[in-house]
């Protein structure tokens, strides 16, 4: 089936839709159904479980929202205030908000039903109170918060009882939800739900693994697949037909300059720029704010706590602008009039590639996507075309590329915060690169680290396990003593100076043991200590990491590895491990992973 909006009018369905639904559809100006809607709605309404795969932006949301409303309003026994009839689970908050807006629009015609949004970023106690006061028949949420809500019996919310009347469960972006990252929460949630229910799995890249479908509780599901006919070939492609999908090949040192030149030439358009990690968004996003003038630039990633919803809504309203983001924006997000999807870093999986591109060229509109590849990554183009049915064309060379890396370096020299962001971004990028699903093409061992560091405009090479034992004659350190780089923020700098002075005053022997005795106190079990060290290794975006912290963490990580390999004893480990006392402030080595970016 080709994905367009002319798959018949709503009254051509074998089932008649409720007048209120038809009324809302007419208000929205949706005269025709899309293929996924005409296929799913009657099946889902007739007691079947469905697993639907349809290209991005093909109207999957209504393919489950309409049946949910039909099923709930047809129930013989009307739902009470605290009875949940439908549960929609999504991997990200933004997607949950978006779905709740769609549901809200249709609920105007069904005032008897209430919906509630249960997502991260808000106060869970407020959610509990809201639920208790207003009740909810349709729940939309992200796995972490939903699981949390199920466990809040002590706060007076018995969600497990409320879902006993559940008729429909929808997993939107099902393949992502059934991934490892959400496994624990999702299993817990599924465990609370009644077995007798309809289940729908929706995605542009559906899971083909039967065992996953079974885990989601699907009984003999009807599989619905709606793909696009390829423009050139007679093949069926996974991306929308009206998407112009490009790639460009840049050397590492040219990549950022090319991006800036491109963005400067497309200021009147709306664009998403994907990076692989939160730390890269923080670093490059801020750099773009300085280097691309007279255009709104916003940044969003999964480690942002409260600002996220506001940023997302702000960007949706813009006529033109740039949203620098991680894969938290890759799936399901429906931003009107998106002109370009730029992938500065290729995504960690082929399915992400399809979803990222799908933020443009939605519902029959024109759109463009461009992925930046290094020369050694060119075979990714073939891989996408053959294995993923996602053909790309080479983008004509970007004009007026100027070298802005010296400017970026100057920014780092002028503010320690920029310097640290750059180091963190580099480390996270390398570690994310090593985790690429397509590891035959994205080979970390083939990365030219010196060139990469030049491309990141770093002042010196960071210390990280991947670079251990290597020398980089092609990388010129910009500054011998990075301690001399000051924070622009006066208070932060004052605090740093104080810490430096304290460190200088501390005798060398005490230095090692002083903090150690505090945090790694004798009372703590060895297991606990190891757990704490593992926790320290998870990146905490809100704190700072100075050079000393970085060294200590490297030391700790090295020791932990040795301990695991049996090269040192537990006693040796304890003797040499540095303290965790500063862990509140410290950064870690590991990247800002986006693998469990949801929520």
Tell me if 367 contacts ligand ATP by CB under 6 A. Answer: no
Would you count residue 217 as binding ligand ATP (CB under 6 A)? no
* Closer CB to ligand ATP, 65 or 261, in the complex: 65
Is residue 416 a contact partner of residue 485, using CB atoms and an 8 Å limit? yes
* Identified binder of ligand ATP from the candidate list 38, 58, 115, 590, rule CB under 6 A: 58
Closest approach of ligand ATP to the CB of residue 302, in Å: 18
- Least Å distance, CB 377 to ligand ATP, is 25
- In the complex with ligand ATP, which residue's Cβ is closer, 199 or 482? 199
The reply on whether position 33 binds ligand ATP by CB under 6 A is: yes
User: CB-wise, 10 or 113, nearer to ligand ATP?
Assistant: 10
Question: Per rule CB under 6 A, is residue 92 in the interface with ligand ATP?
Answer: no
Q: For residue 6, give every residue at least 6 positions away whose Cβ sits within 8 Å of its Cβ, in sequence order, or none.
A: 32
Tokens 């939800």, residue located: 177
Helix, coil or strand: residue 496: helix
Rounded Cα distance, 105 and 399, in Å: 45
Do 358 and 329 form a contact (C-beta atoms < 8 A)?
Answer: no
Round to whole Å and give the CA distance between 565 and 98: 48
Which of 250/354 has CB closer to ligand ATP? 354
Provide, rounded to whole angstroms, the least separation between the CB of residue 566 and ligand ATP: 48
Which among 27-35, 395-403, 410-418, 455-463 is the span making contact with ligand ATP, rule CB under 6 A?
Answer: 27-35
Cα separation values, 249 from 329, 468, 506, Å: 24, 29, 51
Choose the stretch contacting ligand ATP; rule: CB under 6 A; options: 26-34, 263-271, 285-293, 494-502. Answer: 26-34
Phi then psi for residue 270, to 5 deg, are -110, 130
Confirm or reject binding of residue 415 to ligand ATP (CB under 6 A).
no
Are 541 and 278 in contact, with CB atoms under 8 Å apart?
yes
57 touches ligand ATP (CB under 6 A)? yes
Q: Minimum Å distance from CB 62 to ligand ATP?
A: 5
Full 3-state SS string of 76-140:
CCCCCCCCCCEEEECCCHHHHHHHHHHHHHHHCCCCCCCEEEECCCCCHHHHHHHHHHHCCCEEE
Q: By CB under 6 A, tell whether 4 contacts ligand ATP.
A: no
Which one of residues 48, 60, 303, 460 is an interface residue with ligand ATP (CB under 6 A)? 60
Instruction: Provide the H-helix boundaries in 210-306.
Output: 210-215, 252-265, 278-291
∠586-306-333 over CA atoms, to 5°? Answer: 115
Which neighbouring-strand residues pair with 369?
Answer: 245, 341
CA–CA distance, 510 with 507 (Å, rounded to integer): 5
Q: Give whichever of 204 and 259 is closer to ligand ATP, judged by the CB atom.
A: 204
By beta-carbon proximity to ligand ATP, the closer residue of 91 and 455 is: 91
Question: Are 6 and 38 spatial neighbours (Cβ–Cβ below 8 Å)?
Answer: no
Least separation, in Å, of the C-beta of 569 and ligand ATP? 53
Binding flag, residue 560, ligand ATP (CB under 6 A): no
Alpha-carbon gap, residue 558 to 563, rounded angstroms = 9
Number of residues that bind ligand ATP (CB under 6 A): 20
Alpha helix positions (H), 387-506: 405-414, 416-434, 449-455, 490-505
Residue among 33 and 423 whose Cβ is closer to ligand ATP: 33
When asked if residue 462 is in the footprint of ligand ATP (CB under 6 A), the reply is: no
Q: Which of residues 528-547 bind ligand ATP (CB under 6 A)?
A: none
**Which of 30, 246, 472, 475 touches ligand ATP by CB under 6 A?**
30
- Binding residue for ligand ATP, selected from 1, 21, 24, 34, defined by CB under 6 A: 34
Q: Tell me if 286 sits within 8 A of 421, measured CB to CB.
A: yes
Instruction: Give the DSSP letter of residue 46.
Output: T
Q: Which stretch binds ligand ATP (CB under 6 A): 56-64, 210-218, 404-412, 557-565?
A: 56-64
Q: Which two tokens stand for residue 46?
A: 């007739």
Q: State both tokens at 568.
A: 């040192």
| DSSP H/E element including 71 | helix 60-74
Stretch that binds ligand ATP, among 30-38, 322-330, 408-416, 582-590 (CB under 6 A): 30-38
One character per residue 266-305, x = contact with ligand ATP (rule: CB under 6 A):
----------------------------------------
Taking the CA atoms of 206, 211, 213 and 216 in sequence, report the sign of the dihedral they define. negative
Minimum CB separation of residue 31 from ligand ATP in Å reads 7
CA distances for 313 relative to 78, 276, 336, 343, angstroms? 35, 22, 12, 22
25 membership: H or E segment, kind and range: helix 19-28
Alpha helix segments (H runs only) across 230-364:
252-265, 278-291, 307-317, 350-357
**Opening angle at CA 96, ends 90 and 102, nearest 5:** 120
Q: What's the chain's length in residues?
A: 599
Residue 36 or 412: which CB sits closer to ligand ATP? 36
And the tokens for 45? Answer: 């309404």
Contact 239, 55 (CB under 8 A): yes
Q: How far apart are CA 479 and CA 466, in angstroms?
A: 22
Q: List binders of ligand ATP among 301-340 (CB under 6 A).
A: 332, 334
State which residue, 56 or 428, has the beta carbon closest to ligand ATP. Answer: 56
13 in contact with ligand ATP (CB under 6 A): no
Q: Using the rule CB under 6 A, is 88 a contact of ligand ATP? A: no
Using the rule CB under 6 A, give the single segment among 59-67, 83-91, 417-425, 524-532 that binds ligand ATP. 59-67
Q: Which of 24, 38, 61, 590 binds ligand ATP (CB under 6 A)?
A: 61
Considering beta carbons, is residue 29 or 396 the nearer one to ligand ATP? 29
363 touching ligand ATP, by CB under 6 A: yes
- Is 5 near ligand ATP (CB under 6 A)? yes
Comparing CB distances to ligand ATP, the nearer of 42 and 465 is 42
Site string for ligand ATP, 162-201 (x = CB under 6 A): ----------------------------------------
Q: Which residues bind ligand ATP (CB under 6 A)?
A: 5, 30, 32-34, 37, 54, 56-62, 204, 332, 334, 358, 362-363
């Amino acid at each position: 089936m080709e994905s367009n909006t002319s798959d018949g009018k709503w009254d051509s369905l074998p089932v008649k839709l409720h007048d209120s639904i038809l009324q809302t559809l007419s208000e929205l100006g949706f005269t025709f159904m899309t293929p996924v809607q005409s296929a799913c709605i009657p099946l889902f309404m007739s007691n079947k479980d469905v697993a639907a795969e349809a290209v991005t932006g093909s109207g999957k949301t209504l393919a489950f929202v309409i049946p949910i409303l039909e099923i709930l309003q047809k129930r013989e026994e009307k739902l009470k205030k605290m009875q949940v009839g439908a549960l929609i689970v999504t991997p990200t908050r933004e997607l949950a908000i978006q779905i709740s807006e769609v549901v809200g629009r249709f609920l105007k015609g069904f005032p008897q039903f209430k919906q509630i949004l249960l997502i991260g970023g808000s106060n869970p106690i407020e959610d509990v109170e809201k639920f208790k006061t207003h009740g909810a028949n349709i729940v939309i949420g992200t796995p972490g918060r939903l699981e949390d809500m199920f466990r809040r019996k002590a706060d007076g919310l018995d969600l497990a009882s409320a879902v006993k009347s559940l008729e429909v469960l929808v997993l939107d972006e099902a393949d992502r939800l059934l991934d490892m990252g959400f496994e624990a929460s999702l299993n817990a949630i599924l465990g609370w739900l009644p077995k007798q229910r309809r289940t729908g799995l929706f995605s542009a890249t559906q899971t083909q693994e039967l065992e996953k479908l079974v885990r989601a509780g699907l009984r003999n599901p009807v599989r619905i697949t709606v793909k696009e006919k390829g423009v050139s070939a007679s093949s069926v492609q996974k991306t929308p037909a009206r998407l112009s999908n490009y790639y460009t090949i840049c050397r590492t040192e040219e990549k950022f300059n090319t991006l800036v030149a491109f963005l400067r030439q497309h200021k009147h358009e709306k664009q998403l720029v994907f990076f692989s990690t939160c730390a890269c968004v923080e670093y490059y996003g801020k750099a773009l704010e300085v280097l691309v003038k007279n255009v709104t630039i916003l940044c969003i990633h999964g480690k942002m706590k409260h600002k996220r919803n506001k940023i997302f809504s702000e960007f949706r309203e813009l006529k033109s602008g740039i949203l620098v983001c991680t894969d938290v924006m890759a799936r399901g997000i429906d931003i009107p009039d998106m002109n370009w999807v730029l992938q500065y870093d290729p995504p960690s999986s082929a399915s992400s590639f399809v979803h990222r591109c799908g933020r443009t060229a939605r519902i029959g509109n024109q759109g463009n996507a461009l992925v930046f590849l290094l020369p050694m990554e060119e075979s990714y183009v073939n891989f996408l075309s053959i294995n993923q049915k996602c053909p790309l064309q080479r983008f004509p060379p970007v004009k007026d590329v100027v070298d802005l890396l010296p400017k970026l370096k100057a920014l780092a020299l002028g503010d320690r915060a920029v310097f640290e962001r750059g180091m963190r971004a580099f480390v996270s990028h390398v570690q994310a690169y090593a985790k690429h699903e397509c590891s035959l093409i994205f080979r970390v061992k083939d990365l030219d680290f010196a060139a990469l560091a030049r491309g990141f405009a770093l002042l010196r090479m960071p210390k990280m396990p991947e670079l251990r034992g290597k020398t980089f004659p092609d990388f010129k350190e910009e500054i011998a003593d990075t301690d001399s780089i000051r924070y622009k923020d006066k208070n932060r700098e004052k605090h740093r100076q104080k810490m430096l002075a304290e460190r200088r005053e501390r005798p060398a022997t005490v230095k090692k043991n002083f903090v150690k005795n505090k945090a790694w106190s004798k009372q703590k079990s060895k297991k606990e200590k190891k757990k704490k060290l593992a926790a320290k290794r998870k990146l905490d975006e809100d704190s700072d990491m100075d050079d000393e912290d970085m060294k200590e963490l490297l030391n700790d990580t090295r020791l932990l590895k040795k301990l695991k390999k049996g090269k040192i004893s537990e006693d040796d480990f304890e003797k040499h491990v540095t303290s965790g006392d500063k862990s509140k402030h410290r950064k870690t080595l590991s990247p800002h992973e986006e693998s469990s970016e949801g929520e």
